Amino acid sequence: MVSRIFKTDIPKEYRANFIHLYFDIGWFGVLSGSSINFLKIYATRLGANGFQLGMLDASAAVVSLMLAIPAGHWIAKRPIGPAVFWTSVLYRIGFLFWAMLPWFFGDAGQVWALVVLALVMAIPLTPLSVGFNALFASAVPDEYRAHVAGIRNVVLSVAYVATSLGSGYLLERFDFPIGYQIVFAIGFIGAAMSSLHLYFIRPLASSDARPPLSELEPVQGPERAARRSGFLSARHGVLSAIRADVWSTGFRKVLVVMFGFHLAQYLALPLFPLYQVYNLNLTDQQIGISSALFYLIVLAGSTQLRRIVHRLGHKQVTALGVIGMGLYPFLLAISRTALQFYGLSSLGGLSWALAAGAYANYLLEHIPAHDRPAYLAWYNVILNASILAGSLAGPLVANEIGLIPALFVFAAARTLAGLAIWKWG
């Protein structure tokens, strides 16, 4: 079993890239399990309302929405390694400021400072999210991409689980907000080390621009989205610059159903921390345990993903995952104890393992290999449009009809989005 996961016949010239890719995602797991995992819980404990929690996503989405298309052009014209490294440095230095906020602002001021930081950090994040898979594809030969991506998923899950549990422990042992400052500092260290390993990843001299679509690494969170290749359009003018021709292709249907998925996804997200803190009265340690359970199930589900995809296909697996995600807000709204929340987190991990493990390749199956930046830039546009709309509309709906009824409505929206992918995607 171990020999199948960790191959021993990898050529020497590939090993350095593979090792740095493993360390990159491991340190990113440290960042995710600490800073990113507890950001909205921290904001909630500072007194943030649903609108402010939504703004943490929406402010970044505004920037990304404006810059997604230019970022695709910018990435396509530059060496991919330095572009990814420097944008990661500029983006991730923002995590250091999270840890310093209590020294300069009161509770209300920190909430708005976090919103402003999200806005500023989104500027380098946009080209970074349009560039990482380009680096991955150029640094890993075709025949090893699925292998490397699989190990990265394992390393990410292990690092996330360990850091989430450790962060929850620290938050229980230190007074507020010192515990959060320590957790955010740990996250910044993870971010810095991840960028350091990105620096050492080198595109292979023999790499081409046409990797097998089914073997590209799935998107992992906000930093993993696209692949670099040349633009072939010779037309000029505004329509050429924004590549509106993408909407005249079959990819249009994919963009529409994915907009529905992400809109339904982000409508509910700002409400989860409110319910966890105010309705379930969860401690930080309990939240850390639930996050660890979530990623353990993601890891377990990922080991079976290839078999499921082989039988059903990426579109159907994506649809099933999204339908399963519809159960999360519904079951959350009827949960009353931490034990019930742990079970819900496990179910959420299984659904996310299916959706996150398949939807990137579902997208790539419908994109020409020679023209990925334009198509993925448009995907980033609809992604950020849905983040913006969902993050702002979700709290507004909850204010009008109540938190629990809103969770029921958004559960139905997620289920309908999954059915739309299955039928029309």
Q: How much is the pLDDT for 174?
A: 94
Amino acid letter, 42: Y
- Fold classified for 12-204: Growth Hormone; Chain: A; (1.20.1250)
Compute the distance between CA of residue 351 and CA of residue 385 in angstroms, rounded to an integer: 23
54 neighbors 392 (Cβ within 8 angstroms): yes
Task: List Cα–Cα distances, 60 to 69, 91, 225, 357, 391, in angstroms.
Answer: 15, 12, 15, 24, 11
Compute the distance between CA of residue 69 and CA of residue 213 in angstroms, rounded to an integer: 22
423 neighbors 322 (Cβ within 8 angstroms): no
163 neighbors 255 (Cβ within 8 angstroms): no
CA angle centred on 411, ends 322 and 330, rounded to 5°: 115
Q: How much is the pLDDT for 97?
A: 96
Q: Which pTM value belongs to this model?
A: 0.81
Task: List Cα–Cα distances, 221 to 71, 122, 165, 397, in angstroms.
Answer: 18, 14, 20, 26
Q: How much is the pLDDT for 204?
A: 80
Longest dimension (CA), the chain: 61
Q: How much is the pLDDT for 225?
A: 32
Please state which of the four CATH numbers 1.20.1250.20, 3.30.460.10, 3.40.50.300, 2.30.42.10 is assigned to the domain occupying 245-425: 1.20.1250.20
Task: Tell me which residue of 161, 132, 124, 129 sits closest to 149, measured CA to CA.
Answer: 132
User: Residue 270: phi, psi to the nearest 5?
Assistant: -65, -15
Compute the distance between CA of residue 332 and CA of residue 328 in angstroms, rounded to an integer: 6
Q: Cis check for the bond before 11: say yes or no (omega within 30 of 0).
A: no
Q: How much is the pLDDT for 64?
A: 79
Task: List Cα–Cα distances, 28 to 37, 92, 157, 260, 346, in angstroms.
Answer: 12, 10, 10, 28, 22
Q: Where, residue-wise, is CATH 1.20.1250.20 in the chain? A: 12-204, 245-425
Task: Tell me which residue of 196, 186, 193, 190 sits closest to 86, measured CA to CA.
Answer: 196
Q: How much is the pLDDT for 5?
A: 46
Tally the C-alpha atoms within 13 A of residue 160's C-alpha that lie toward its C-beta. Answer: 26
Q: How much is the pLDDT for 310?
A: 84
Sign (positive or negative) of CA dihedral 283, 284, 285, 289: positive
Compute the distance between CA of residue 370 and CA of residue 347 in angstroms, rounded to an integer: 38
Q: How much is the pLDDT for 328?
A: 95
User: Residue 226: phi, psi to the nearest 5?
Assistant: -140, 180
267 neighbors 325 (Cβ within 8 angstroms): no
Instruction: List, for the chain, all residue ranges whose pLDDT scores fall below the cut of 50.
Output: 1-6, 208-240
Compute the distance between CA of residue 221 and CA of residue 200 in angstroms, rounded to an integer: 22
Q: How much is the pLDDT for 134?
A: 72
16 neighbors 146 (Cβ within 8 angstroms): no
